[in-house]
Homo-oligomer: A and B are copies of this chain.
């Protein structure tokens, strides 16, 4: 593709055609690409570096709660996956099956893991004998496969990258505590590192994880169509899996009991969230804390005589910033500065430094923020001291903007007609009382395609009336369409 053409075509308008904008920005910013394997995507280095930064930070937080990483097999024999009835019913339709290996037909098909409860729980059954062996706190980073014909980079694909945590406990209370703790780890991670505000809450019975006692979730609002993205879930599995897989132990009193389990996962769809929450007509806008490149330096000169002085200043600035920021110098000689500005804006780099002959003369750089487009001259001597504060300010500014978007597009309503209008108009989240019946839930879903994203933890004091049937309702829920 000709480089010049690439920027002559503008990106699709964010508001006009958000879905198309998403596809274009993913491709042009080189986050991911099509793949010859139907249903999958290739994650390119720039997209993967973003995910690696997320991984490093989330991994650190998970480990701080006492969890260790491990690795369990990719394959799960069919009979093992089938042991927990609800679980297999939920996942079987999406499974990829290995039926041949080493030139032989297998006696029993092997599932490529859609999630690992059914292979991890049998191991826990071997490792747990006594209450002293509990809790078990294990996480793994891997890829899982769920059949998907219409992939969308990061958001929905046949294979996706995630972490899945699996714990076993002596009591239901302890399992509940862990389930909520991990949801809080997710909330803090997503809000602090990705600058994406979320609404934490519980899933309804019909939306919970297959086989779980209860599922908690954090739900974020995406830009454009203001749809919801389920951003991390944490499941209290009760003792369902403990009973089915025989995770038995002797408690302090010598009584035989079944262990209680939790599982929780967060996937690279959060790369999609970062794109959709912060992006604009110029492309990505990456939160500094996870941006692969935080500061890009573009050297500028016209005459060969200016070159040496500019390059010396560029080196000096880069060396000063390296200890405090992830810096990249764009030295390509076949691209104009203007072209580079566009490209790094498209790629969402938080800070651009332009260094030209006039900057050199004044011992300064021209700093341009990706979030505000604000331009300022900063003396080279002050730069290293100020850059951290500027990056922090950009991070805070992105979070504030996303929080405003969430607040402005979340409305408390008490009329089903209004819900229908809001959903049809892509107007955002609607908060309303719900009686708790699956019938009302199903009806709204069938009639509007909106679902209950969660029953938020944050609830009003007073009860109300169900938006759909008008019956007494104890709690409010968030209705929205979701990716």
Contact = CB atoms under 8 A, between A and B. Distances in A.
A170 B38 CA distance: 30
A145 B73 CA distance: 10
Contacts of A47: 70
Contact of A334 (B40, B123, B127, B132): B132
Nearest to A68: B45
A100 B263 CA distance: 27
A135 interface: no
A95 interface: yes
B101 A99 contact: no
Contact of A102 (B129, B132, B147): B147
Given A68-B48, A98-B112, A33 B93 contact: no
A102 B145 CA distance: 10
A94 B104 CA distance: 10
Interface in A87-136: 92-103, 109-110, 112, 119, 122-123, 126-127, 129, 132
**Identical chains in the assembly:** 2
B69 A48 contact: yes
A74 interface: yes
A43 interface: yes
Given A93-B102, A100-B97, A42 B69 contact: no
The secondary structure that dominates the A interface is mixed
B33 A126 contact: yes
B123 A72 contact: no
A320 B453 CA distance: 48
A155 interface: no
A122 B37 CA distance: 11
Interface string A66-91: 00111111111100100000000000
Interface string A183-220: 00000000000000000000000000000000000000
Contacts of A1: 129
Nearest to A146: B102
Contacts of A444: none
A42 B68 contact: no
B37 A77 contact: yes
Contacts of A44: 70
A57 to B, nearest CB: 15
Nearest to A138: B45
Nearest to A34: B126
A378 interface: no
B42 A70 contact: yes
B71 A43 contact: yes
Contact of A159 (B73, B76, B102, B126): B73
A36 interface: yes
Given A35-B73, A99-B100, 15 more contacts: A36-B80, A36-B122, A42-B70, A42-B73, A43-B70, A44-B70, A45-B69, A74-B145, A95-B101, A96-B102, A98-B98, A98-B99, A100-B109, A101-B158, A132-B334
Interface of A: 1, 33, 35-37, 40-45, 47-49, 52, 68-77, 80, 92-103, 109-110, 112, 119, 122-123, 126-127, 129, 132, 138, 142-143, 145, 147-149, 158-159, 161, 334
In the complex, the 3 A-B pairs of residues with the closest C-beta atoms, listed nearest first: A102-B147, A45-B68, A43-B71
